[in-house]
Amino acid sequence: MKEKNGTYSIRRLMRIMIVIIIYQYELFDKTIDSEEIFKLDKFNELFNFNVLKTKNISQIQKEQSSILSTIEKNYKVFKKTITNFIRTDWSWSRLNPLVRSILLCASVELWKLDVGIVANEYVQIAKDFIPDDKSYKFINIVIEEIGKKYNVFKQKSN
């Protein structure tokens, strides 16, 4: 059984925090700046880590920092990958900034985790934070398609 804090697992809380941070940048169309995030201590601003009673918190924080840095360094690549799986009559800027944030985070995690796990985690986050019932379906489809593309790429490189 996973450790829980309220109704969310520790890892899901950490994912939510990263999505919220990325959302703030997407909402105002700003370039992600991890140095600014860590300097301003956005993580502790969003959540008091002291309440987390887990031995793995430093490892989880390191993983989430890695996700944030990866998005910052490869933003254009992830953006292009995601836009390849949306309708041609839609643009990146037309997507809800929260949906963009979720898809960016999911795109990073798809390199390391099974597509089913990533889809489940980020679809649940979408269901919890986006009231319209169509967004989570869209997010699920895009994550699955990106996962397929990544799997083909991984197989070719092995």
pLDDT tens digits along 80-124: 999 999 988 889 999 999 999 999 999 999 999 999 999 999 999
Q: What is the mean pLDDT of residues 34-48?
A: 67
Reported pTM: 0.85
Residue 11 tokens, joined:
């890892």
What span, in angstroms and rounded, lies between the C-alpha atoms of 93 and 155? 32
- Cβ atoms 108, 67 nearer than 8 A: yes
Domain ranges of the chain: 4-157
pLDDT tens digits for range 118-133: 999 999 999 999 987 7
Structure tokens at 151: 């799997």
Give 14's Cβ-side CA count (13 Å radius): 22
Q: 4-157 adopts what CATH topology?
A: N-utilizing Substance Protein B Homolog; Chain A (1.10.940)
The pLDDT of residue 4 is 43
